Structure 1
Amino acid sequence: MRRPALLIVSAALFLAGCASVPTSGQVNLGANVTGGNSFDAVVPVVRPPRVGDSPVEIVSGFLQANVSASDDYAVARAYLAPEVTETWNPATGATIINDSNGVQLVRRGSRVLLSEPQVGQLSSVGTYVPSPRNTQLDTDFTVRQVDGQWRIDGVRDGLLLTPTTLNRVYTSAERYFLNVDESRLVPDRILVPIDRRGLLTSLVRGLLTGPSAWLSPAVRTAVPRGTKLDIDAVPIEGTTAVVDLTEQALAANDSQRRILAAQIVWTVTSIETVTAVRITVNGQPLPLAGLGDVLSRKDFAGVDPDGLSAKSSAFVVVGRRLNQVTTAGIAPVAGVFGEGSVRLGRIAVDFAQTRAGSTVSVAGAQSTIYLADLKPASQVTPVAGQVPALSLSYSLAGDLWVASQGSVRIIKASGKVSRVRVNGLATPVLVRVARDGARALVIASSGGQRQVYLMRIVRSGGQYQLESPQLIQNSLTSIVDCAWNDANTAVVIGSSRTGVTQVYSVSVGSPDVSAAGGVASMSAIAAAPGSALLVEAPSGVWENSGLGWRLSVARGRSPAYSG
């Protein structure tokens, strides 16, 4: 029996054209390189097929060429048989595979087989979703000779990429929509090829069309029906993009036009090379009372998805007192939570920093949650009939979200309690509501492992639902806690395949994850934009402002920022 040909393709070959393809051996990936969201990433050079390439070398070359979108993937198409060149559709999306041990290709007759762990999927519109752990991609390529040279005559639509190549040749961008109250923008992240012409045009066109299918039920848009680009292009003048809309945009009233402008400005400036936007309708400036013709994010700071007040600060519990962290140290908060009369557990502070909630440990108490205003002479408001709570999280609306083993509830400022339906996860144990109010991080237990999911928040008839869970990162397990750092980044205490428990920064909507170290026996984490990471350990609360971990509050616990 003929022995199948075997080739292990180095990940490096996906990144640059090489003079020859190895026929044996294996090469491991180095550190993950993030492309970021600018145009300044490296675009790899790929080569066309060579005379005499074997079937395995042809498939290997085709996979290498998947990284280059230039001229509609012209180099990749050169590896295909003529009839397949016309029918292969790379625009259906991409499958991301783990090549940490090299990509193994095996020839069996007229077929070349590939079997590798699948990391994630990139949709046709650029939405990235991690695949469940232990997902395996099994696919094959059929080959035949064309004029004496091997070519691929059977291939699945879409691209095959690795996490490293994805980060090198794709860039992240966000389309911004509105939460249901139209008080905050909500990012809808997509990944797009760096060398695609008309990237900004495609980005704005997508904004005008509407949000991704996953996010759509949780958001709104101020784009009037039928609004399009008047000229199907978004030119750049220096660092200012020009967005010219059709006359349908004028159907919006003054307040809606302002929100529309905010959506456009935040979307276009998600590309780092753009700092400002001019919005016109049929060539004339879009009427925006009190604003100039050239707009930046500062003009719409009120709908910032991270939306924390400049006065926002951190809080920690020391002994029985809730303390506010200041530049001078810590100081007990005003009111009953700062007096030491209540044995505080896990705490949460609302966005206005005027009210807090805490799990409590009081012998014989019928309630596990106390609420209190952060002002002098305040009293606790017990919320009766609650099962033990595992996490507390305030929403932008001032509602306290309470997660217990397998259930999620909301406590209104009035004290009314309502249950949240959780669709798609059987045992949620922790919920962190995003500052935009449209999304949440949810830790759930499955098969003995705790993992972090992104879920959308949908309101219907006054009731809330958490829907459509998506893993935010499939390489992390044994999750202890998580928090929102900013609108596009989560921080997680957990372990990777190395088994080491530490803090990880996860870019939501992309495969990017980076380790931030940590300290022994971490049990809670808190984060906020532009602020230090805080973790709880037996010795106290530790902080990391980018220069490493240091003990911030000895014997402190339950660190929290607003939310």
Structure 2
Amino acid sequence: MGDDREGGARHRPGRAVAYAVCGAVLLSGCASMPDSGDLRDVESTPRQDTGVRVFAMPPAENAEPSEIMQGFLEALTSDDPEYDTARKYLTTDAARTWRPEQSATVLANGPSVVADHQPAGREAGDTLTYVLAGTRVATVDGEQAYAPADGAYRNRVHLIKDAKSGEWRIDSLPQGVVMGKTDFQRNYTSVNKYYFASSTTVRTTGQPVAVADPVFVRSKVDPMTQVVRSLLTGPSTWLRPVVRSSFPTGTDLRKGVSGLAPDDQNRLTVPLNARASRVGSARCTEMATQLLFTLRNLTPTLDAVELQGPGGHRLCDLREGDAESAAWHASAQRPDNLYFLDGKHRLVRLPTLGTGTSAVPVPGPLGRGERQLRSVAVSRDERTVAGIGADGRNLYVTSLEPDGSLGGPVVSSQALNANDRLTTPSWDAGGDLWVADPDPRDPKLYVVEQGVGKPVRVTVPDLPGRIRDVRVAADGARVALVVEKDGKQSLLIGRIARDEESGENPAVVELRSAAPDLEQITAMAWAGDSRLVAVGLEQGGVHQMRYVQVDGSALDGPAPAALSGVMAIAASEDERAPLVAYSEDDGVVRLPSGAQWQKVDKDGTAPVYPG
């Protein structure tokens, strides 16, 4: 199974065919298996060239059972679109019923392959069973959604020898595909699909808010067509209750369409079936917006999309600038300012993209230092600020206007210990404000509508501990929580359920881990539409700063430069904005792209971007 297979004993080189830009080449040494004895772990030569498409070889004549297993496992990690070569290692019946698209199981080091006990009796020598085993890392389901997993993996693959041809073939096997982590990273890529939040619109404009739904597609098997089909099929099961799609139910690509690609003007034409042929112009614009947001995530140079109905009838088209007007998504919003508390306990701000370090007080009472604070949150439109008092007991909300005033507390904590009082607050794009009270006697999570309404207690049915930090996603559909239990902190993502008609309190449901191998998390922030940055202790390791995906998958690319003593982190969904942190040793520091950490304010604390 690619790079993840560990070997031993003598080996016989396997083969695969790779098609590159210049033509076809033969890759030898891609996989190897023992010549005799038990069939053990399988190893292969790493394939590093992402521009090369790899296709496995069909079974050789009179191949031994070990060679059948070798070829089949290699075929699972090839770039064969329909796994046609892998099916050639199966009997006719098994090939018809096997569904490789049903799931992908990712193992830590690839599957260990061992021959099971030999059958007794008359059929001895005509059948053979192999056991695939390993340690689970994750699964990708039929919706292409990723989920971390653990525990042992163990499945059997059964082979028979055909009485007429004398050829060995697999006649029983698990559904889906299985491969090691390295092979998975080589074969699959993560892409954000975009839908619209059901319950959130931008407070100032009324625009619908785009919500990212990450999926994994095979990176060299017509990925653009895969992503479009996945978008049209609809959101993942986990996200579905809180988002909507503008595509009518049953919308699909026109029959036979494949190989979608932009033309030389960076314009993509998407032919749809009849289900989409009668939508109005406004809805068609939303459909095109979903496509453009999604596909620019895969192909950043894409400038426009055109939707066509049956017979090539043009439904609508949309350019990038028009999409940004049609809907709001966080990664396209560049914050004007970075905010933090200076040594005089004033709220100050600094232009996001500037290189200077001379911050100025914000307008209003918090810029005048009328109340000492320990943390703040600035609304997405940068018009309102929420602050937690220095003792952590009270939450205050005021405008960023020269004549603004500071009223009484909006939320208060009664916790005896200052460390058990209110967390840093957080705003979504709809203008709602979130804050947690980790009082051990009665831990609570609140949402304050528009930052001025009566605090509403949010239920969290499956909460495994106390909330130590909360960051609501800009879309108002998801929330990131640092949850403490037995002295350890974990980073969880929950879906925000709102039922305005029933009048029931909002709830955070179906919590899942975004960083399964991190504990003792000291800081986190959203750093993209489906990405966060977290500071925590790796299991058995040291504290580190890392980008993580909301689905718990690993991210390609380097981690931020190391920084000691990080107590708070500020990031923007717009990845052009530099990462900012508060370090006990250095105060407020920032990390421009391609540079090292730079000091901003030695006495500063609590840095935040809007949100």
Taking the aligned partners of 1:148 and 1:304, their CA distance within structure 2 comes to 62
- The SS at the match of 1:551 is strand
Q: Distance in 2 between matches of 1:523 and 1:313?
A: 21
Could you tell me which residue of structure 2 aligns to residue 468 of structure 1? 510
Q: Is the contact between residue 482 and residue 492 of structure 1 (CA under 8 Å) also seen in structure 2?
A: yes
**Which deviations, in whole Å up to 9, do the C-alpha atoms of 1:257-312 show, x marking residues without a partner?**
3222211222333331744211233433335xxxxx4x332221132421665452
Describe the superposition over 1:22-76 as per-residue Cα deviations: whole angstroms up to 9, x where unpaired: 549989999998x9xxxx6543343444567665554344222211251521232
Instruction: Report % sequence identity.
Output: 26
Pick aligned residue for 1:296 from 315, 319, 323: 319
Aligned residue among 312, 336, 361 for 1:312? 336
Task: Write the letter of the residue equivalent to 1:347.
Answer: V
Alignment pair present for 1:544 and 2:544: no
In structure 2, relative to structure 1, the CA distance for the partners of 1:149 and 1:444 (3 Å cut) is: farther
Helix, strand or coil at the partner of 1:356:
strand
Q: Is the 8 A contact 1:32 1:163 kept in 2?
A: no
Q: Distance in 1 between matches of 2:315 and 2:490?
A: 46
- 2:494 maps to 1:455: yes
What pairs with 1:68-107 in structure 2 (closer than 5 Å)?
A: 68-70=78-80, 72-99=82-109, 103-107=111-115
Contact 1:350 1:394 in 2 (8 A): yes
**Is 1:520 the equivalent of 2:564?**
yes
Q: Sort the Cα spacing of 1:309 and 1:83 in 2 relative to 1 into closer, same or farther, 3 A.
A: closer
Aligned to 1:8: 6
Among residues 535, 548, 554, which one is paired with 1:506 in the alignment?
A: 548
Q: Which amino acid in 1 is paired with 2:100? A: P
Mapping of residues 172-191 of structure 1, within 5 Å: 172-180=190-198, 181=200, 183-191=208-216
- For the Cα contact (< 8 Å) 1:307–1:435, is it kept in 2? no
| 1-structure distance, mates of 2:496, 2:14 | 42
**Is the contact between residue 175 and residue 188 of structure 1 (CA under 8 Å) also seen in structure 2?**
yes
Q: Would you say 1:145 and 2:161 are equivalent positions?
A: yes
The alpha-carbon deviation at position 338 of structure 1 amounts to 1.5
Shift in Å, 1:215:
1.0
Residue 393 (structure 1) aligned with residue 426 (structure 2)? yes
What residue in structure 1 maps to residue 298 of structure 2? 271
Deviation at 1:499, TM superposition (A): 0.9
Alignment of 1:395-414 (within 5 A): 395-405=428-438, 406-412=443-449, 413-414=451-452
Tell me how far apart the structure 1 counterparts of residues 157 and 273 of structure 2 sit (CA, whole Å).
Answer: 46
Which moves more between the two structures, 46-55 or 476-485?
Answer: 46-55
Matched, 1:136 2:161: no
3-state SS, counterpart of residue 336 of structure 1? coil
Paired residue for 2:236?
A: 212
Contact 1:308–1:351, Cα closer than 8 Å, also in 2: no
Contact 1:130 1:511 in 2 (8 A): no
Cα displacement (A) at 1:208: 3.1
Q: 1:47 to 1:417 in 2, by over 3 A?
A: same
Matched, 1:434 2:462: no
Q: 8 Å contact 1:541–1:551 — kept in the other structure? A: yes
C-alpha contact (below 8 Å) 1:9/1:103 kept by paired residues: no
Q: Which moved more, 1:21-30 or 1:506-515?
A: 21-30
- Residues 308, 359 of structure 1: alpha-carbon distance in 2 compared, 3 angstrom cutoff: farther
CA distance in 1 between counterparts of 2:386 and 2:45 reads: 45
The CA deviation at 1:424 is 2.7
Matched, 1:535 2:581: yes
2:283 is the alignment partner of 1:256: yes
- CA distance in 2: counterparts of 1:481 and 1:416, whole angstroms: 28
Matched, 1:165 2:189: no
CA distance in 1, matches of 2:422, 2:108: 38
**Number of equivalenced pairs:** 537
Distance (Å, rounded) in 2 between the aligned partners of 1:504 and 1:258: 37
Specify whether residues 89 and 246 from structure 1 end up closer, same or farther in structure 2 by C-alpha distance, changes over 3 A only: closer
Bigger Cα Rg: 2
**Are the structure 2 counterparts of residues 335 and 62 from structure 1 closer, same or farther at C-alpha, using a change threshold of 3 Å?**
same
| Matching residue's letter, 2:559 | A
Cα offsets for 1:188-212 (capped at 9, x unmatched): 2221223435x44443343333222
Structure 2 distance, partners of 1:30, 1:449, is: 40
Distance apart, 1:108 and its partner CA? 2.8
Which runs of structure 2 are paired with 1:225-240 in the superposition (5 Å)? 225=249, 227-230=251-254, 233=257, 235-236=260-261, 237-238=263-264, 239-240=266-267
Report the RMSD for the aligned CA atoms in angstroms: 3.3
- Paired with 1:481 and 1:32, the residues of 2 have a C-alpha distance of 37
User: Does the 8 A contact of 1:96 with 1:161 survive in 2?
Assistant: yes
Q: Which amino acid aligns with 2:308?
A: T
| Conserved? CA contact 2:33–2:42, under 8 Å | no
Partner of 2:173: 155
Q: Tell me the residue number matched to 1:290.
A: none
TM-score by length of 1: 0.85
SS state at 1:8 partner: coil
Alpha-carbon distance between aligned partners in 2 of 1:42 and 1:493, rounded to the nearest angstrom: 36
The 1:281–1:152 alpha-carbon spacing in structure 2 relative to 1, beyond 3 Å, is closer
* C-alpha distance in structure 2 between counterparts of 1:543 and 1:29, whole Å: 42
Determine helix, strand or coil for the equivalent of 1:206: helix
Are residues 1:340 and 2:369 paired? yes
**1:417 aligned residue:** 455
Query: What's the TM-score once normalised by structure 2's chain length?
Result: 0.79
Once residues 45 and 253 of structure 1 are traced to their aligned partners in structure 2, the CA distance between those partners, rounded to angstroms, is: 44
CA distance in 2, matches of 1:71, 1:229: 17
* Structure 1: gaps (5+ residues): 1-6, 288-292
Asked whether the 8 Å contact 2:29–2:45 carries over to 1, the reply is no
